[in-house]
Structure 1
Amino acid sequence: MGVVILSVDLASAVPIYQQLRDRITEAIAEGVLVEGSSLPATRALAADFGINFHTVNKAYDLLRQQGLIQLNRKTGAVVIAASADPPFRSEWTARARTLLAEAVAQGVPADEVLTTCESVLDSFNATQSEDTP
């Protein structure tokens, strides 16, 4: 497991809790955070960014709802094994459809959308492969 460096843009239109959720999800997809990895305590992470700890709680709760982490008073937030159950697949497909529709509606050609999707997936696979002996 590598060191996770989270970044947020306090001036972004994307809510901070969503940025945190997105960066942690990406770290899991890249294999930087693996099953059993501990996340920083909510208060510590909030202090690092100078944000309210409820914002971090909201991000962690989203990750918990999505089955990516487990929250426990003793152990804190810990990455758990992934399981793409049917409800997740349905929700994910709907979100992917909307994201792809946004790209097409903005005039991004379909072949470029596909190339970008493949490139992003390849980057996750490449990162995980580098960590595998």
Structure 2
Amino acid sequence: MLLEIDTQSQTPIYQQICNQLIIGIAKNQLQAGEQLPSVRQMADEIGVNMMTVSKAYTSLKADGYILTDRRNGTIVADRQSPTSQFQEYVSERLDLLLAEAVIHQVTEETIQKNVKQIYQKFDQ
């Protein structure tokens, strides 16, 4: 999986890395147990500082998306069951996103259609 970094984006590079890896996992482009490049390799491949990749990996590890082991390197973690804390996090993010949609007069029908289309992109 080749990551595409947009240096002109308002989104920090480490967050772009996190977002793309999470999407790759959700789309089954990255499988549980699959080896990820080392921090150094990833930084070289995408042309960013090693500390940026390290920050992304640390964040992904804290959120349970990847596992690191000194002997085996970094691998994709198994899919997780939703905890109440995660469900609350999703609800809060949706609340803000839907508030923005309402302000921009996006209809509920359009939102539901978009959610269905996006959700279908991800393998269950």
Q: Contact conserved, 1:40 with 1:77, CA < 8 A, in 2?
A: yes
Q: Which moved more, 1:47-56 or 1:92-101?
A: 92-101
Across the aligned residues of Structure 1 and Structure 2, the Cα RMSD in angstroms comes to: 1.5
TM-score by length of 1: 0.84
Which stretches in structure 1 are left out of the alignment for 5+ residues?
129-133
2:105 match? 107
Deviation of 1:104 (Å)? 2.6
Deviation of 1:111 (Å)? 1.5
2:28 match? 31
Q: CA offsets, 1:48-94, max 9 Å, x none?
A: 22211111111111111111111222222211112222222221221
Of 74, 93, 96, which aligns to 2:94?
A: 96
SS of aligned partner of 2:42:
helix
Q: Contact conserved, 2:3 with 2:46, CA < 8 A, in 1?
A: no
Q: Contact conserved, 1:66 with 1:88, CA < 8 A, in 2?
A: no
**Whole-angstrom CA distance in 1 between matches of 2:100 and 2:72:** 39
SS of aligned partner of 2:71:
coil
Q: Contact conserved, 1:42 with 1:53, CA < 8 A, in 2?
A: yes
Deviation of 1:113 (Å)? 1.5
TM-score by length of 2: 0.89
Which letter maps to 2:34? S
1:131 match? none
How many residues are treated as equivalent by the alignment?
123
Which stretches in structure 2 are left out of the alignment for 5+ residues?
none
**Whole-angstrom CA distance in 1 between matches of 2:116 and 2:104:** 19
Which letter maps to 2:74? A
